[in-house]
Amino acid sequence: MRGNLIVFQFLGIPPQALFGQLLIGLINGSFYALLSLGLSVIFGLLNIINFAHGAQYMMGAFVAYFLLQYAGLGYWWALLLTPVLMAGLGMALERTTLKRLYHLDHLYGLLLTFGFALIIQGVFRHAFGSSGLPYPIPPELAGGRNLGFMFLPNYRAWVIVFSVGVCLATWYVIEWTKLGSYLRAATENPALVRAFGINVPRMITLTYGFGVGLAALAGVLAAPIYQVNPLMGADLIIVVFAVVVIGGMGSIMGSIVTGFALGVVEGLTKVFYPEASNTVIFVIMAIVLLVRPTGLFGRAS
Amino acid sequence: MSSVGAEVESATPAEAPAGTLRHQAVAFVIMVAVLVVLPFFVYPIFLMKALCFALFACAFNLLIGYVGLLSFGHAAFLGAAGYVTAHAAKVWGWPPELAIVAGTATAAALGLAVGAVAIRSRGIYFANITLALAQMIYFFFLQAKFTGGEDGIQSVPRGTLFGFLDLRPTVTLYFVVLAIFLAGFLLVHRTIHSPFGQVIKAIRENEARAISLGYRPEHYKLIAFVLSATLSGLAGGTKAIVFQLASLTDVHWTMSGEVVLMTLLGGLGTVFGPVVGAFLLITIEHYLAQLGAWVTIVQGVIFVICVLAFRRGVVGELARLIRRPL
């Protein structure tokens, strides 16, 4: 530890700044992982890039805000109810619109969800302006602890632990349970799985709902950290797209690992070369694509 | 699974009748006539804006309509060219023609770089990658010193074209912009109907077969991508001279979305669709401009309607009605 401290001071960077940025990196990484996981799950089965994912993340934060303002339901209820409500909304969306496009080129799904993203963001911006609304940290998670080399706010620690848990649970369900094996089989060959008597269209609907629910969950987690803002998902989602490309589209573990790793890389870039912190993920994406066109964890399409 | 362009193509008769090109020639003459007369009735600045976007959409359509690649990062080429043109004209004092050429060349170089990374991927991957690379370019312009950040580069001089044509009178400028637009439009048209165009359409329809015939799809796609980026740059450079402004709006991904929408609304893979789509969308935005967030909402609604129920677009439907490709 002591040796490390000397090295950091030698580089002219105080350890507090380094660990502070590492923590921010892990927090961002949690959101990258949750969002890219949702995108990957949806992409795997529907072959659609859900452009509305950022808007649905934003809606998740707003639903938490509404629950608190109008129903008096606090953070823990929001964490439970918001994903369910948003998943229902997502499934309705899939049933009524996305379903009609499966026989066409998958790009139409991208364009449709892009349209939804514009509508959702426009409506919320019209109603709430562009400035953020505050959302309080739940009292159980207020405060923080001193780790000696840095101060760790409890809520941030919770976000990291909880999102790792959700990611691993999702990975477990998809890779190791019977339900997951149906899902993976339907990804490979939907017609054959249907012939075995499994209701694939319903599975597709549920999958889209699940992906949207994950985005909304990320939104609830984000509400106390960032403010609740109509545009909070707009630029974030483009970074997440890059994360998904780096991880390999449709790879579950790939999107989790790359999500966290890139958050950390971005945080470290802020310490060592701040000018590049906005672009570092895109640069990594370009390099990865040149070396491995299918992404780090992806299979050849 | 039919490709985006192919689905539109099947809207029009598979075997184009002998009169196809004559039909398009008639439509072209009508378009030119309208565009020559229009500035005497409609605010020319508005028309010039629409013309710049029409050229931008035509360039974009070359890629989506004929190569079948959806680029979600075309704003980078429009915006980059705008910045370079504005900087060259204002700071270096270059004449407008050289400034626009400099902007266009920048867009071409960027197109080559982005294309080299993205062209190996297809479909959704391609859209994602171009979007991410364009976002990187956006951040570059956001942070670069010469772009003036949020303010952009303002009061760019229009200058004197070729040393004798003063561009300050609006009508003069209008006809210069019209000439640039028509040159770009004809170049796209020529490209589509050239042997090169036939090859890219063949690659879109059946890439494996094109490879087996000895073509290298990646070369053809890259050339088409660079051409599309270059023409987008021409539109961006011209736009910077017209509005005397280069700003972050033109590099942002929302602009990439807008050009997709223009082309979709007018008709993917049609010759005149992007022009019609650009004029329609710019008109809509013009009337909604005071309403703030409503512009985004209306754009989104048009997107949804087009994708769900109106995939051929205005010109595509028209072409189906008269049973001739337009």
Question: Is residue B315 predicted with pLDDT exceeding 90?
Answer: yes
In a domain, residue A126? The reply is: yes
Query: Cβ A282–B133 below 8 Å, yes or no?
Result: yes
Q: How many CB atoms lie within 10 A of CB A293?
A: 18
Pairing of strands A151-153, A144-146: antiparallel
Tell me, what's the pLDDT at B120? 85
In angstroms, the separation between the Cα of residue A38 and the nearest Cα of chain B is: 16
- Per-residue DSSP letter, A197: T
C-alpha span between B256 and B267 (Å, rounded): 17
Domain regions of chain B by residue span: 4-322
Residues of B in contact with A274 (CB under 8 A): none
Side chain identity, residue B127: A
Specify the number of domains making up chain A.
1
Residues of A in contact with B70 (CB under 8 A): 107, 110
* Nearest chain A alpha carbon to B136: A279
Domain boundaries B4-322, corresponding CATH code: 1.10.3470
Minimum mean pLDDT range among A145-154, A237-246, B22-31? A145-154
**In this predicted complex, what is the ipTM?**
0.88
C-alpha span between B204 and B123 (Å, rounded): 11
* Nearest chain A alpha carbon to B122: A301
What average pLDDT does range A248-270 have in this prediction? 91
In a domain, residue A42? The reply is: yes
Tell me, what's the pLDDT at A11? 63
Tell me, what's the pLDDT at A17? 80
Tell me, what's the pLDDT at B324? 81
Tell me, what's the pLDDT at A105? 87
C-alpha span between B77 and B250 (Å, rounded): 9
Question: Is residue B6 predicted with pLDDT exceeding 50?
Answer: no
CATH number, domain with residue A116: 1.10.3470
What average pLDDT does range A40-56 have in this prediction? 92
Long-range contacts of A173-176 (CB under 8 A, 24+ apart): A174/A41, A174/A252, A175/A252, A175/A253
Q: How many CB atoms lie within 10 A of CB A20?
A: 17
Q: Is the CB of residue B301 less than 8 Å from the CB of residue A115?
A: yes
| Best mutation target, B114, B120, B128, B143, to test chain A (most A CBs within 10 A) | B128
In a domain, residue A270? The reply is: yes
Residues 6+ apart with CB under 8 A from A81: A63, A67, A73
In a domain, residue A137? The reply is: no
Residue whose C-alpha is closest to residue B250's, from B138, B156, B174: B138
Tokens of A132: 């953020």
C-alpha span between A177 and B21 (Å, rounded): 60
User: Residue B160 pairs with which residues in a beta bridge?
Assistant: B166
SS3 call for B244: coil
C-alpha span between A75 and B272 (Å, rounded): 53
In a domain, residue A3? The reply is: no
Question: Is residue B11 predicted with pLDDT exceeding 50?
Answer: no
C-alpha span between A53 and A39 (Å, rounded): 7
User: Residue A145 pairs with which residues in a beta bridge?
Assistant: A152
pTM: 0.90
- Per-residue DSSP letter, A145: E
Query: What's the pLDDT band for B160 if we cut at 50, 70, 90?
Result: confident
Question: Is residue B12 predicted with pLDDT exceeding 50?
Answer: no
Which range marks the domain in which residue A271 is found?
Answer: 16-131+153-291
Nearest Cβ partner of A111 from B264, B294, B297? Answer: B264
C-alpha span between A120 and A50 (Å, rounded): 14
Q: Is the CB of residue A81 less than 8 Å from the CB of residue A15?
A: no
Residue with tokens 């979007």: B131
Q: Is the CB of residue A247 less than 8 Å from the CB of residue A259?
A: yes
Residues of A in contact with B253 (CB under 8 A): 238
Query: Cβ B257–A123 below 8 Å, yes or no?
Result: no
